[in-house]
Amino acid sequence: MVTIKDVAREAGVSVATISRVLNDNGYVGSDTRKKVMEAIAKLNYSPNEVARSLYKRESRLIGLLLPDITNPFFPQLARGVEDELSRSGFRLLLGNSDENVQKELDYIQTFVQNNVVGIISATNHVDYKIYDALKLPLVLLDRTSEDYPAVYSDGREGGRLAARTLIEKGAKRITLVKGPAHVKPAQDRFQGAIEELSQADIDFSVLSSTSYSFEEAQGWAEELFEKFSDTDGVIASNDIVGIAIIHEALKLGKKIPEDLQIIGYDDIPQSSLCYPTLSTIRQPAYEMGRQAAQLLIKMVKKEQGIEHTIQMPVELVERNTTRKE
Would you tell me which residues interact with its own copies (CB under 8 A)?
Answer: 1, 46-51, 53-54, 57, 59-61, 68-70, 72, 74-76, 78-79, 82, 91-96, 107, 109-110, 112-115, 214, 217-218, 240, 243-244, 246-247, 250, 269-270, 272-275, 277
28 binds DNA (CB under 7 A): yes
- When the beta carbons of 14 and 70 are compared against its own copies, the nearer one is 70
Task: Indicate the pairing of strand 138-141 with strand 91-96.
Answer: unpaired
Q: Are 236 and 177 in contact (CB under 8 A)?
A: yes
CA distance to 47, 151, 179, 286, 317, per residue, from 89 (Å): 14, 21, 37, 19, 35
3 binds DNA (CB under 7 A): yes
Residues near DNA (CB under 7 A), total: 31
Which partner from the list DNA, its own copies, none does 229 bind, CB cut-off 5 to 8 Å by kind? none
Which residues, 39 to 98, sit near DNA by CB under 7 A? 47-48, 51-52, 54-57
Give CA–CA dist 264/158, Å, rounded.
10
DSSP string of 130-182, one letter each residue: HHHT--S-EEEESS--SSS-EEEE-HHHHHHHHHHHHHHTT-SEEEEEE--TT
16 binds DNA (CB under 7 A): yes
> Is the peptide bond between 185 and the residue preceding it cis, with omega within 30 degrees of 0?
no
CA distance to 144, 274, 291, 298, 299, per residue, from 308 (Å): 11, 38, 12, 11, 10
Residues 6+ apart with CB under 8 A from 48: 1, 3
Q: Which amino acid is at 116?
A: V
Which partner from the list DNA, its own copies, none does 92 bind, CB cut-off 5 to 8 Å by kind? its own copies
SS3 category, 116: coil
- When the beta carbons of 35 and 247 are compared against its own copies, the nearer one is 247
- When the beta carbons of 37 and 54 are compared against its own copies, the nearer one is 54
27 binds DNA (CB under 7 A): yes
Which partner from the list DNA, its own copies, none does 14 bind, CB cut-off 5 to 8 Å by kind? DNA
Which partner from the list its own copies, DNA, none does 4 bind, CB cut-off 5 to 8 Å by kind? DNA
Q: Which amino acid is at 147?
A: D
SS3 category, 264: strand
- When the beta carbons of 49 and 127 are compared against its own copies, the nearer one is 49
37 binds DNA (CB under 7 A): no
Span near DNA by CB under 7 A; candidates 26-34, 80-88, 144-152, 266-274? 26-34
Which partner from the list DNA, its own copies, none does 273 bind, CB cut-off 5 to 8 Å by kind? its own copies
Q: How far is the CB of 113 from DNA (least distance, A)?
A: 8
Q: How far is the CB of 279 from its own copies (least distance, A)?
A: 15
Determine the distance from the C-alpha atom of residue 124 to the mean position of all C-alpha atoms in its chain, rounded to a whole number.
11
Which partner from the list its own copies, DNA, none does 170 bind, CB cut-off 5 to 8 Å by kind? none
SS3 category, 281: strand
- When the beta carbons of 2 and 316 are compared against DNA, the nearer one is 2
Residues 6+ apart with CB under 8 A from 168: none
Which partner from the list its own copies, DNA, none does 32 bind, CB cut-off 5 to 8 Å by kind? DNA
Give CA–CA dist 47/54, Å, rounded.
13
- When the beta carbons of 177 and 244 are compared against its own copies, the nearer one is 244
Where along the sequence are the contacts to DNA (CB under 7 A)?
A: 1, 3-5, 12-20, 22-23, 25-29, 31-33, 47-48, 51-52, 54-57
